[in-house]
Chain A
Amino acid sequence: MSTASTTFEHAAPPNAGPRAFIQRLRQGDEIAHIVTLIFAAGILLITSLLVYELWINSTLSRHQFGLNFLWTQTWDPISGDFGALPFIYGTLVTSIVSLVIAVPLGVAAAVFLAELAPRKLSDGIAFLIDLLAAVPSVIYGLLGIFIVVPLMRTTIGPVIKSVLGELPIFKGPNYGVGFLTAGIVLAIMIVPFIISVSREVLLTVPRDQREAALGLGATRWEATWKVVVPWARTGIMGSIFLALARALGETMAVTMVIGNDPKIKASLFAPGYTIAAVIANEFTEATGDLYLNSLIELGLVLFLITFILNGLARLLIVATSRGGGHP
């Protein structure tokens, strides 16, 4: 491994001869260096192996369907015809619904914690919100099935229908399970991430920005909304991307409340399916290599989407914490 040998030479003092090197080897420094390096490189190896396995094990379906896989609607295991579109659609719709709910709620809560609440209260609430983020997703699924779905059927659904029933996205029968229910559960799951990261970002906004705005006669809200939040907007975007990546990959809670029906429907009350949910449900039952390969290709698609989003999120957060958030 070339990296190993180069760092090897770096670690030795500039004008060290072989004797000094052996001295250091005897002391154990180089051994410790190499051992830890191997484990660090192990992480690289694991990640590359992950991509490799996804790629290799989806060969059959990649060759059979090509790029058509991404925009075909049929999912028929019996005739061996597989298209990912209903799942991609379901994944996007549930994630968008969850963002529509979670972003205003999360950013507002973060503004309260960073700008208004006294430090002690803010820290206390942030602590509780970290706990909320630690709740396992199967617990959200459990509550989703037994609390949110009935509530959707009896209360939330009818109320939305009576107010906005004319909109095409709220037409059609309400079964309790479906895109909207999944989106609501997802929103609860991702809101802690938006709050946590946005709060940290807002706290890094320099104090004099606020003081200048207040000094010019702005109200507290105007100072926050027109000065502090724009200053931190790159970082807040980063937190939203992180949350989105999580929503896209979330499996258990969604599987339990979305209704598991591979159809593309405009109505948010309709049952649907997501990429993660179909993998969770059908993987162990997949008969035949093509079926299994198609499911693994879905996993590859999911991996690539979250990979890109996570990369973007990191860049945005790093950009703000370097103070580059402001143009």
Chain B
Amino acid sequence: MNRGRLLWRKSLNVVMLTLTGLSAFGVVSILFLILGYLIWNGGRSLNLDFFTQLPKPVGETGGGMANAIVGSLKLLLLAALMGLPVGLLAGIYLAEFGGKFFSFVIRYTTDLLNGVPSIVIGIFAYSLVVLPVKHFSTLAGGVALGIMVIPITVRASEEFLRSIPGSLREGAMALGASKWRTIATVILPAASGGIITGMLLALARVAGETAPLLFTAFSNRFWSPGWSQPIASLPVMIYTYAIAPYDDWHRQAWAAGLILLGLVLLANVGCRLVLNRGGVSRSI
């Protein structure tokens, strides 16, 4: 009886522990499955045209996504210009100046903004930028992505500023530097590596966003000069091409998927390696 129970407990132990291991490796293998499928399907579909040509009219095969690649870059540039400064300065406030209560409120709001579904951010940018002028624009897409960049940048900036040892700060102050001079010439440069990595991660994350662009930047089958016209972007192109009924469009969706995933993962691997080496928490 007693021996039977012990045997049961021991076998339960082995079975359950094996199951936990299988779960972990199962989840990780999904990453490799995703990579494998995209390299297999996307690799076959990639060609030079993809990078240099405009989309062909519906029904014709061939063509590329040159406009969407440039479009994604333009949208990211706008997002960086709008989101990064706000995020950095707010991060400096939280790390260096903030009072207890107000900082708590800002931090909480930042987390909240981070958790807002991206499609809702899209509605927000739509009512802010598209509704008043009654047409989709690059600018609206940039605003949507820029808002999404802010919370990640705030957290990265605050965390890295806080990780700078107090002795550096005291050293600068002891030499008679004022607080802002200390921040600008000692603390920020010391934390800059981490902050820049955090910013890159933020941009990598919004680079793959589709939902907030659907009704802000919309899409465009041609070049989009300036900032006030609808513009194509890689994620939106993947979406439209994948749900369309043409085989050649599916082929191009895979190719675009490979490029997008490749860039996003490369940025993530690079940034996270730098961050892990710095020994800072992985919470970003």
Which A residues have a C-beta under 8 Å from some C-beta of B? 3, 7, 10-11, 24, 27-29, 31-33, 35-37, 39-44, 46-47, 49-50, 53-54, 56-57, 104-106, 108-109, 111-113, 115-117, 123, 125-132, 134-139, 141-143, 145-147, 188, 191-192, 195-196, 200, 219-222, 225, 242, 245, 248-252, 256, 276, 279-280, 283-284, 295-296, 299, 302-303, 306-307, 310-311, 314
Decide: B215 and A221 in contact? CB cutoff 8 A: no
Give complex CA distance A41, B105 in Å: 10
Segment touching A, from B49-57, B59-67, B206-214: B206-214
Chain B positions 1-27 with a Cβ under 8 Å from a chain A Cβ: 9-10, 12-13, 16-17, 19-21, 23-27
Give complex CA distance A33, B269 in Å: 35
The contact string, 1 if C-beta is below 8 Å from chain A, for chain B 95-121, is: 011110010011011111101111111
Decide: A219 and B205 in contact? CB cutoff 8 A: no
B128 interfacial contact with A, CB 8 Å: yes
Decide: A136 and B235 in contact? CB cutoff 8 A: yes
Give complex CA distance A130, B204 in Å: 13
Chain A residue numbers with a CB within 8 Å of B181 are: 27-28
Give complex CA distance A191, B30 in Å: 11
**Max chain A CB contacts within 10 Å: which of B13, B119, B242?**
B119
Chain B positions 252-271 with a Cβ under 8 Å from a chain A Cβ: 253-254, 257, 260-261, 264-265, 268-269
Decide: B180 and A283 in contact? CB cutoff 8 A: no
Q: Which 8 A-B pairs have the closest CB atoms?
A: A136-B208, A249-B117, A32-B180, A36-B93, A39-B89, A112-B20, A27-B178, A310-B115
Chain A residue numbers with a CB within 8 Å of B269 are: 131
Decide: A43 and B13 in contact? CB cutoff 8 A: no
Decide: A46 and B117 in contact? CB cutoff 8 A: no
Chain B positions 21-40 with a Cβ under 8 Å from a chain A Cβ: 21, 23-28, 30-31, 34, 37-38
Give complex CA distance A27, B252 in Å: 58
Known contacts A53-B128, A134-B205, A137-B210, A221 near B90 by CB under 8 Å: no
Chain B residue numbers with a CB within 8 Å of A53 are: 123-124, 127-128
Per a CB cutoff under 8 Å, which of A7, A27, A134, A191 touches B265? A134
B222 interfacial contact with A, CB 8 Å: no
Q: Tell me how far the C-beta of A297 lies from the nearest C-beta in chain B, rounded to whole angstroms.
A: 10
Give complex CA distance A325, B25 in Å: 28
The contact string, 1 if C-beta is below 8 Å from chain A, for chain B 203-238, is: 011011111001100100000000000000001001
Known contacts A44-B105, A129-B28, A139-B257, A108 near B235 by CB under 8 Å: no
Known: A50-B120, A256-B239. 4 other contacts (CB 8 A): A28-B178, A109-B20, A249-B116, A299-B123
Decide: B243 and A145 in contact? CB cutoff 8 A: yes
Give complex CA distance A108, B116 in Å: 28
Give complex CA distance A222, B14 in Å: 11
Decide: B13 and A219 in contact? CB cutoff 8 A: yes
Give complex CA distance A123, B276 in Å: 10
B side interface size, CB within 8 A: 94
Q: Tell me how far the C-beta of A29 lies from the nearest C-beta in chain B, rounded to whole angstroms.
A: 5
Known contacts A43-B154, A283-B215, A138 near B117 by CB under 8 Å: no
Decide: B210 and A136 in contact? CB cutoff 8 A: yes
- The B interface, classified by DSSP as helix, strand, loop or mixed, is helix
Decide: B120 and A303 in contact? CB cutoff 8 A: yes
Which B residues have a C-beta under 8 Å from some C-beta of A? 9-10, 12-13, 16-17, 19-21, 23-28, 30-31, 34, 37-38, 41, 85-86, 89-90, 92-94, 96-99, 102, 105-106, 108-113, 115-124, 126-128, 131, 147, 150-151, 154, 178-181, 183-184, 204-205, 207-211, 214-215, 218, 235, 238-239, 242-243, 250, 253-254, 257, 260-261, 264-265, 268-269, 272, 276, 282-283
Smallest CB gap from B9: residue in A: A219
Per a CB cutoff under 8 Å, which of B20, B26, B154, B261 touches A139? B261
Decide: B89 and A252 in contact? CB cutoff 8 A: no
Q: Tell me how far the C-beta of A218 lies from the nearest C-beta in chain B, rounded to whole angstroms.
A: 9
Decide: B93 and A28 in contact? CB cutoff 8 A: no
Smallest CB gap from B41: residue in A: A146
Known contacts A105-B23, A109-B23, A249-B120, A142 near B90 by CB under 8 Å: no
Known contacts A36-B96, A136-B208, A136-B264, A284 near B214 by CB under 8 Å: yes
Known contacts A53-B124, A299-B120, A142 near B254 by CB under 8 Å: yes
